């Protein structure tokens, strides 16, 4: 039994819908009987159609003054906010994320678009150098067609981190949404695309075949991908055929390090929010907590009390504060990790309460899990779980904690919790991560605007957001005039 008739979602190419003979069901992860949408399944034909439309639009879009491009993006940001009420419930049904979370996501995405629009003109201004012998000019030029491959967990934000800098720099885009959460993003992109000339924004749906066709298409200049390392490696190999650039924002195993002087009244709610928002399904979520022995029992008790407040259920149910896992593959992986953690001898507590009792037949539901008395080298501590399982690790030697963190292959985000600013900065500088947050588990508004978002090692290539993120979408052209 479904709650609404399924929406039919087509590709969007050249500001017009394009259907495919085959369609894929998108089911509600919290009500598996509910088919939310029937989404066109693309392949190499649709990719070629979209890329050629984008390449044709690029010829004139690149010549459009940056002030005009920025003005259109500001209109797009306003449109995102205006359209939010129409899509946030639908997004909850396709992704399992809470309606309030989706509303906040669209607001953040609108700010990302505005930030890139604001930064564009100054960033793209040419540079000039001169001496008695010659003059040198350095210009920044758009690359061409950008393939933007977006995941399911925060699709609006993650799409706008790619689309808005690409467009303000004069590129055109082909967006591939995630197969398990394509609907809300697609509807918003269609509305946005209507503000721009045909072919500037295009959308093609599908799975691995579409991703590979984008990565290998000769008219695609760069691939920007957010997701997992396995897929990123496949894209990189495909892109290598044409020596095209890649930008990857990948996973993290983000540690929260509590120091002895931390304000636990402030820290614990923020750590729990940073770990369990989106049911733990976001790249820079707190994945593991390190607490000194002197505070360990208190930290565990406080986290337990905070996590136990969650109310688990479908995101459209009254009173729910914790939704389901997005898809079957991720749910099975988390269940396997939970079973192995139980078998390891660690203390495992399933917390929170059901708003209404759920079974596996209803959806991909998990209660939030707190794990204590766990070995620092245990699997749950050393991998990115991407779900609601939080280990708390006891430590006596901070240097050993830093060494263990730095020995890992991931390095996206980290957080430090202390009243001592200078010590926080000193510890942060020892961590091999792309970002460190002090006394919070994410960016402030100032940080959203200015932090080059991304990681080191296996957590990615390149950066998103801030003026530095604009560099991903330009080529340089230099002129040296000899006197």
Which residues are known catalytic residues? 249, 283
Return the closest-CA partner of residue 40 out of 230, 216, 233, 176: 176
Give the distance, in angstroms, between the CA of residue 67 and the centroid of all CA atoms in the same chain: 28
8 A C-beta contact, residue 25 and residue 45: no
Q: Which residues does 105 contact at the CB level (< 8 Å), separation at least 6?
A: 97, 154, 156, 157
* Sign of the dihedral defined by the CA atoms of residues 464, 167, 103, 366, in that order: negative
Q: How many CB atoms lie within 10 A of CB 420?
A: 15
pLDDT tens for 186-206 read: 999 999 999 999 999 999 999
Query: Phi/psi class of residue 255: alpha, beta or left (left: φ > 0; alpha: ψ in -120 to 50)?
Result: beta
User: What's the confidence (pLDDT) of residue 1?
Assistant: 36
Stretches in the chain below the pLDDT threshold 50: 1-2
| Cα within 13 Å of Cα(226), Cβ side | 28
User: What's the confidence (pLDDT) of residue 456?
Assistant: 98
As beta bridge partners, residue 139 has: 477
Return the closest-CA partner of residue 384 out of 469, 443, 455, 438: 455
Give the distance, in angstroms, between the CA of residue 442 and the centroid of all CA atoms in the same chain: 13
The one-character DSSP state at 277 is G
Spell out the alpha helix ranges (H) of 96-207: 99-124, 155-168, 183-193
- Quick one: tokens of 314? 């479908």
pLDDT tens for 75-116 read: 999 999 999 999 999 999 999 999 999 999 999 999 999 999
User: What's the confidence (pLDDT) of residue 457?
Assistant: 98
Q: pTM higher than 0.85 for the full model?
A: yes
User: What's the confidence (pLDDT) of residue 95?
Assistant: 97
């Amino acid at each position: 039994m479904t709650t609404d008739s399924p929406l039919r979602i087509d590709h969007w190419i050249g500001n017009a819908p394009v259907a495919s003979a085959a369609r894929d069901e998108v089911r509600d992860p919290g009500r598996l009987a509910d088919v939310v949408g029937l989404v066109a399944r693309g392949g190499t034909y649709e990719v070629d159609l979209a890329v050629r439309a984008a390449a044709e639009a690029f010829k004139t879009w690149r010549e459009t003054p940056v002030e005009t491009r920025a003005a259109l993006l500001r209109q797009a940001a306003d449109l995102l906010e205006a359209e939010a009420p129409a899509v946030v419930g639908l997004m909850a049904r396709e992704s399992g994320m809470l309606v309030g979370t989706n509303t906040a996501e669209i607001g953040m995405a609108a700010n990302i678009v505005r930030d890139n629009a604001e930064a564009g003109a100054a960033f793209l201004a040419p540079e000039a150098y001169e001496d008695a012998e010659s003059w040198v000019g350095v210009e920044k030029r758009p690359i061409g067609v950008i393939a933007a491959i977006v995941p399911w967990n925060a699709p609006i934000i993650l799409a706008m981190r790619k689309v808005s800098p690409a467009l303000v720099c004069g590129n055109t885009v082909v967006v591939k949404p995630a197969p398990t959460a394509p609907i809300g993003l697609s509807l918003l992109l269609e509305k946005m695309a209507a503000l721009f000339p045909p072919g500037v924004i295009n959308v093609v749906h599908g799975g691995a075949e579409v991703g590979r066709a984008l990565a290998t298409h000769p008219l695609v200049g760069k691939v920007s991908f957010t997701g997992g390392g396995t897929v990123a490696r496949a894209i990189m190999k495909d892109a290598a055929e044409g020596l095209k650039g890649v930008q990857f924002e990948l996973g993290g195993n983000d540690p929260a390090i509590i120091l002895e002087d931390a304000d636990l009244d402030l820290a614990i709610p923020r750590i729990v929010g940073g770990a369990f928002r989106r049911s733990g399904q976001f790249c820079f979520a707190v994945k593991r907590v390190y607490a000194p022995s002197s505070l360990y029992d208190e930290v565990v008790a406080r986290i337990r009390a905070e996590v136990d407040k969650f109310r688990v259920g479908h995101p459209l149910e009254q009173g729910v504060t914790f939704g389901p896992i997005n898809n079957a593959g991720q749910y099975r992986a988390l269940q396997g990790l939970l079973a192995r953690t139980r078998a390891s001898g660690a203390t495992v507590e399933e917390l929170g309460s059901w708003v209404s009792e759920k079974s596996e037949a209803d959806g991909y539901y998990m209660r939030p899990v707190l794990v204590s008395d766990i070995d620092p080298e245990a699997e749950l501590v050393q991998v990115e779980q991407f779900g609601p399982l939080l280990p708390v690790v006891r430590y006596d030697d901070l240097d050993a904690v830093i060494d263990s963190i730095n020995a890992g292959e991931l390095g996206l985000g980290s957080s430090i919790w202390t009243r001592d600013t200078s010590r926080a900065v000193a510890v942060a500088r020892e961590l091999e991560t792309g970002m460190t947050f002090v006394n919070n588990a994410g960016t402030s508004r100032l940080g959203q605007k200015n932090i080059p978002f991304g990681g080191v090692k296996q957590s990615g290539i390149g950066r998103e957001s801030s003026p530095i993120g604009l560099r991903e979408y330009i080529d340089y052209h230099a002129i040296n005039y000899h006197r």
